[in-house]
Amino acid sequence: MWISFIGMGLMVISAVTIYLSRYKLKNAFLKFISALFAYVCMITGGLIMVYIVFSGPS
């Protein structure tokens, strides 16, 4: 159960961070770093969700 909460939290963090990098930040370096962080969080959260779905009921 806790690992699924972590996956959902990473998805929320990635959504907020990509919003910040696209619309709020003006510095190109900070945009790149925040977008990179967001995509890493999204990929990690997605992999956690795939693991949870395919592991089945316990």
Q: Which of 58, 56, 39, 53 is nearest to 4 (CA)?
A: 53
- In the prediction, which pLDDT does 58 show? 66
The predicted structure's pLDDT at residue 42: 96
How far is Cα 24 from Cα 27, in angstroms, rounded to an integer? 10
**Encoded tokens for 16:** 């907020």
Q: 10-residue block means of pLDDT along the chain (58 residues)? A: 93 96 94 96 96 85
Alpha-carbon span 6 to 38, nearest angstrom: 15
Residue 17 CB-density burial (10 A; 0-12 exposed, 13-18 middle, 19+ buried): buried
Domain boundaries, the chain: 2-52
d(CA 19, CA 8) in angstroms, rounded, equals 17
Give pLDDT, residue 1.
84
